[in-house]
Amino acid sequence: MQLVVGLLGWWFVALAGADVRTRRLPNNVVLPGVAGAAVGVTIAPDAVGGLLVAGGIYLVAFWFGGCGGGDVKLAVVVGALAGSMGAAVVLVLLAQVLTFGQILFCLGGGGRSRHHAHGPALCASTAVCCGIW
């Protein structure tokens, strides 16, 4: 179990770093997580609710231009990791609070970009909610 937690931690660091640098979550890093989530929900069917809630919220945000496709794929994975619908809602709300804090921090520093990385907030909120760090 410790190996899995360690791998998830490094995976989150790689995703967050890539998103901060490029404002993209690369498919070659995100898609193995999506495949893992698909396998995970076959083993633990209760995780389907979390997967659908988090993925659905980010899919709606994507539809309205609030995030990118990589964020939707990552939300599917972290929703499955959350395991339940309630935990997924808490995870997404925490991610939104962290993203809002990032926006305020960037605006205070003079940055005016309207594109903000959602990946670091999703990774951090998952790490907190799932006890990875």
Instruction: Tell me what pLDDT residue 48 has.
Output: 92
Q: What is the pLDDT along the chain (133 residues), one digit of tens a residue?
A: 566 677 888 888 888 888 888 888 889 989 998 998 999 899 988 889 888 998 898 898 889 888 888 889 998 998 888 888 888 887 787 888 787 766 666 555 545 445 667 788 888 888 877 776 6
Instruction: Tell me what pLDDT residue 63 has.
Output: 92
Q: What would the 3-class secondary structure string for the chain be?
A: CHHHHHHHHHHHHHHHHHHHHHCCCCHHHHHHHHHHHHHHHHHCCCHHHHHHHHHHHHHHHHHCCCCCHHHHHHHHHHHHHHCCHHHHHHHHHHHHHHHHHHHHHHHHCCCCCCCCCCHHHHHHHHHHHHCCC
- Domain extent, residue 73, equals 2-130
The domain total for the chain is 1
